[in-house]
Amino acid sequence: MKTLKIAIQKSGRLNEKSVELLKNCGLSFENYKSSLISTVSNFPLEILFLRDDDIPEYVQDGIADLGIVGENVISETEVEVSFLQLLGFGKCTLKLAVQNNTEIETLQDLEGKAIATSYPVILKKFLDKNQIDAEIRTISGSVEISPGLGLSDAIFDIVSTGGTLKSNGLKPFADVMSSQAILIGRKGEEDNPLIQELIQRIQSVLRAKETKYVVLNAAAENVEQIIKLLPGVKSPTIVPLAEEGWVAIHTVIPERDFWEKITLLKAAGAQGIVVMPIEKIIL
């Protein structure tokens, strides 16, 4: 059986979460910081630790079968790969930002101005779409200091919290692209059984992170009303309690609806609500 290769960041904002995801999928390996390759002992998989900019090309050229990388890197490198699964971490936005005391107020005010960025391809497409003729100055790192040094009138860069912009006297000006980590694969290899198995494992971990396991007690006469509030994977499990006329209801609730559902359940007569994390959900 052919051993798969998956490329992830050697260091950077996606490394820790990528390693955590793979370990949560039941893969056993060492995260060697000084090594470029780690072999999984319980699955036919090798993990390549690479620079994030190199990952898309490694996958496109077949050196790696899979990769975990930011959507922004895919857009910047313009490679031909398959998008297999959004992963829900490494979320950020690529924004234009300007100095706090600038006279730039609209996109058209960028006409003829200089914009510093590490993402010239994405920026060029955005400017062309908005029919703006600006000078793009490509800088690899520390983009946020360029306006203060007089190198540019604006910057285009990744923004997660906005703290770096604020500390450099900058303010967000326009959102250009949202990004998160994504699992990519080589074109034409999507149906590989090993790839499909790994995707299934990843999806089970992601589903579990998005839900809570809930057990609650309720009087029998309130069960019908409570069940209407519960989505469950298929339907809630109902178990009679030792006390006559009472049951325990087991279900899962999406994280996004959790507190709203809990409030409604209590109003419908739910008592003794116990909430537990879920490790995996396999459909």
Tens digits of pLDDT across the chain (283 residues): 689 999 999 988 899 999 999 999 999 998 766 778 999 999 999 999 999 899 999 999 999 999 999 999 999 999 999 999 999 999 999 999 999 988 898 999 999 999 999 999 999 999 999 999 999 999 987 898 999 888 999 999 988 777 888 888 999 889 999 999 999 999 999 899 999 999 999 999 998 888 888 999 999 999 999 988 886 557 788 999 999 999 999 988 888 888 888 899 999 999 999 988 888 887 7
CB 203 within 8 A of CB 223: no
Domain 92-179 part of CATH 3.40.50.1820: no
Q: How far apart are CA 199 and CA 141, in angstroms?
A: 33
Q: How far apart are CA 133 and CA 118, in angstroms?
A: 18
Q: Which amino acid type is present at position 35?
A: S
pTM (predicted TM-score): 0.83
Assigned token pair, 266: 């209590």
pLDDT of residue 2: 84
pLDDT of residue 254: 84
Return the bridge partners of 99, or none: 170
Q: How far apart are CA 264 and CA 262, in angstroms?
A: 5
- C-alpha torsion angle, residues 74, 78, 84, 90 (rounded to 10): 10
**Spatial CA neighbour of 215 closest among 256, 248, 245:** 248
CATH of 4-90+180-208, one of 3.30.420.40, 3.40.190.10, 3.40.1380.10, 3.30.565.10: 3.40.190.10
Residue 71, SS3 per DSSP: helix
Query: Which of 113-137 are b and which e, b meaning 16 or more Cβ less than 10 Å from the residue's Cβ?
Result: bbbbbbbbebbeebbeeeebebebb
Q: How far apart are CA 62 and CA 198, in angstroms?
A: 18
Residue tagged 């297999």 (tokens) = 84
Q: Where are the domains of the chain?
A: 4-90+180-208, 92-179, 211-277
Q: Judge residue 242's burial from the number of C-beta atoms within 10 Å of its C-beta, 0-12 exposed, 13-18 middle, 19 or more buried.
A: exposed
Please report, in angstroms and rounded to a whole number, the separation of the first and last CA atoms in the chain. 26
Domains 92-179 and 211-277 share a fold: no
pLDDT of residue 156: 95
Topology annotation, domain 211-277: Alpha-Beta Plaits (3.30.70)
Q: Compute the half-sphere exposure of residue 281: CA atoms within 13 Å on the CB side of its CA.
A: 19
